[in-house]
Amino acid sequence: MLADCFRVACLLVLAGVGGVGYSPASSTEILTPIHGNPARESAKDASTAWNDLNLTIRADRQSVDLQQNRLVAEGNVRLHLAGGHLAAERVTYGRGTGLLTATGAVRFRRGSQYIQAGSLRYNLENREGELRDVYGVINLDHHTADLDFRVSPVRPTSRTKAVDPDEPWVELPPMACPVLLRPLGTPARAVGRATQGRQSLVPPLGCPNPDGHARYHQDLDSLPAGVSGSGPAPPELDSQRSGPVDQRVYGITSRTGLQREYHLDFQDRYRSGETENEEEGEDREDPVIPAAFGILERSLEPDQTRGGISHWRFQAEAVFLTPEAWTSPLVVLTNDPLTPAQLILEGRDSQVREQSDGSLILTSATNRGLLDGRLSVPLPRRIALDSSRPSWALLSDRNRRDGVYIERTLAPHSVLGGELILSPQLMLGRALSGTTDAYPPGHSSPEAEPVRQVISVGDLFGLDVRYRRPVGPQGQLRLRADFSTLSPHHVPNRTRAEANLSHPLTLPLLGETKATLSAAYHFSVWNGSLGEQDVYTAFGGFLEKDYQFPQLGSVRNRLLWRLGLQNINTTVFDTKDLSGNTWRASGYVRLTSTLPIWQGEILEDSTQALRYVPRPIRPEVSLTTFSIAHSSSYDDHSGQRYYTLGILSDVAMGHFSRPYLDYTKLSIGGSVSAVEQISRFGFDRAIDLGLLHISWTQQLVGPLLLSTSMSYNVDGRSEKYGHRIDSLFEIKWQRRAYNVGIFHSPERGLTGLRIRINGFDWRGTGTPFIPYTPSSWLHDNR
């Protein structure tokens, strides 16, 4: 994608200067791109795609150098083509060599893409080129449309169908110059920090550089005076202290990022109908623990990956373009919109290639992540920049895979109009022990108890298969099969699978309603103090609608209803006996009302508001009430009906911007349930009829965050009265660009590591995030 962006900029320049020799020289020219040298067929072909588009070029001076047979535009050169803008101080095109150059504060913008460099050289004959001292912003969500000039609208034209020269020009922002970092201590101390490369990533031509721009000595001779250091000097910072930086970004919003969980030891669960792209905390029927008391249940799903990063900033010492790829001796990227960046990806001797599916693969001699400019983390040599999942993972599953295993996620494949993702697995725990205790003997039934037995070759391997495809304009089909073994003797017993087809329907009186057809084989449900409950087969359908009422004053009201019909085969309560295929009809209604009692103001300074968190925190106090009605009936005339009333208070104080104790969130709530008829099955049995829920999140020091969440049974008639039925404890290193946390749930036997890289959207160019320390300052510091 970057290579496409650079090539588009080069063709734009070519289209502009290619007609200079055939129009009167003036400050503004309206041109149709042509070539005056028919012998240069490849260069001519390269511009053919632009011949139908009107183009405007503006410069202080335009001329033809007859001696060197080249076209020249210099002095505030501006080019416009179909929504793309390019600026430089000097542009030349050699008609005999096909070499195009742009020098001095080179900037290119189109849509969400922005590139700047000190200089650009591109040979249209062999389609190879070079950019020096590069910085840019790329948005992978829009790069296809942004760089497709053929389908883009041209600028407004006059009656003669030419571009209207009176239309105001879009001014490109001035060069974004890196911060100059003044060291303290010895040069070794300054260079030794993790932000290495700041002597290599020098300010481009057009930015101040106390060391001068010796590498541009050939270009400086022909540039107007003062260009080598144009614009105000960036701030000088101490190597140990930060100061104000002109961020040049606005409208920062947080979006779903990349999350990965590594579970060290857990009671495995596999919930039907849940996928990695669903948001945390999504409402769903839970007859035991109301949704308002959910303890991060979605985030407790084992080893899940969600989201991806599509908005990046990057810097490069130099970029070398070829028709196949682009390479760089040093490239750094960040997902962080602010400077200094909290998370940096650094690649040495790197190459970026675009795959057939449009994804970008970064391959380097060495890759590493830099956390807060201090901690260096080795990374794989091959990284998919816009992939939503890592390619390799070391995971652990005690119950179904006998411990540690390696998973390799392959690149998605297009199959039958959808996306197929395969993740083969190698069971290290089984390979080391030579045994497994995850399966019942032989061809036993699924509910039989597992026994220790010698493994076969197939037990060393597993496979996770995921498939999704759109159905109609708004529907989606999702399929998943999880094989913890490939041994024919054990596949039927522990394989888990699900199919889910969802599509909105427009129904009389009800309006748009979500319809879902689902089928699942062998999954588990967490049911409060009963713990894990197995469901072996289930298929059926649901209708549901989530309605947000108009606000009544400051009160927000939300109604969720769901109707379902399923055929299930599950265990009878307090036994291991299977129910057989049983039809279950259910209805569920929940009304939630939230009253904001008090709201504070968010911080206006984004560098303070987003110091530790991806979105600004608003201090507030609120009160939420909810009422639930549930009814289910089975084909044996049994069933269950219960009614729940609950209340939850939330208090959030502080902005999480100061060094310590600047954020506290406390939630306290309770619920009571009345049961008319109780289910004879374990997975949906209303068991905890009185609940007390407490959760507390506290900033300790800097980004260190402690979070606890607990639910207690307070039903005096229950055998579990006073028992803690569910809990989660987590300690987290919380940063704007990423967070790392270790969590533990004693009741679920779950401990793990959660890593999240946050995604952002923003507007503006930002400021180069790798500071520069001039070598002369290092010498002065000796």
Tokens of 517: 């057809």
pTM: 0.77
Cβ(309)–Cβ(759) under 8 Å?
A: yes
Cβ-defined contacts of 716-722 (< 8 Å, 24+): 716/690, 717/689, 718/529, 718/687, 718/688, 718/689, 718/690, 720/529, 720/687, 720/688
754 SS3 class: strand
Residue of higher predicted confidence among 108 and 54 = 108
Lowest mean pLDDT across 136-150, 214-228, 274-288, 320-334: 274-288
Cβ(175)–Cβ(765) under 8 Å?
A: no
Domain boundaries, the chain: 2-151, 254-308+472-763, 311-384
Range picked from 242-246, 444-448, 688-692, 746-750 for highest mean pLDDT = 688-692
Q: Distances from the Cα of 693 to the Cαs of 294, 670, 713, 743, in angstroms?
A: 9, 6, 9, 18
316 SS3 class: strand
Lowest mean pLDDT across 91-100, 614-623, 701-710: 91-100
Element (H, E) at 711: strand 704-713
How much is the pLDDT for 73?
86
Q: What percent of the chain has pLDDT over 70?
A: 73
Tens digit of each residue's pLDDT (9 = 90 or more) over 663-679:
999 999 999 999 998 99
d(CA 576, CA 44): 77
Tens digit of each residue's pLDDT (9 = 90 or more) over 179-211:
887 776 544 333 334 344 356 788 888 888 877
Rounded to a whole number, what is the distance in angstroms from the first to the last CA of the chain?
44
How much is the pLDDT for 395?
75
How many other β-carbons are positioned within 10 Å of the β-carbon of residue 89?
A: 27
Q: Which CATH number fits domain 2-151: 3.20.20, 2.60.450, 3.40.50, 1.20.120?
A: 2.60.450
Tens digit of each residue's pLDDT (9 = 90 or more) over 466-482:
999 999 889 999 999 99
Mean pLDDT of the chain: 78
> What is the pLDDT averaged over residues 76-104?
83
Tens digit of each residue's pLDDT (9 = 90 or more) over 12-63:
444 444 443 333 333 444 433 333 333 333 333 322 222 333 456 788 888 8
> What is the pLDDT averaged over residues 81-103?
83
The pLDDT confidence band at residue 233, using thresholds 50, 70 and 90, is: low
How much is the pLDDT for 501?
95
Tens digit of each residue's pLDDT (9 = 90 or more) over 551-579:
998 999 999 999 999 999 998 888 878 88
Cα 224 to its chain centre, rounded Å, is 43
Question: Which string of DSSP letters, residue by residue, matches 718-747?
Answer: STTTT-EEEEEEEEEEE-SSEEEEEEEETT
What's the full length of the chain, in residues?
782
- Residues 380, 382, 384, 388, CA torsion sign: negative
How much is the pLDDT for 154?
39
How much is the pLDDT for 268?
37
The pLDDT confidence band at residue 762, using thresholds 50, 70 and 90, is: very high
d(CA 203, CA 232): 13
For the cut 90, the answer to whether the pLDDT of residue 286 exceeds it is: no
For the cut 50, the answer to whether the pLDDT of residue 454 exceeds it is: yes
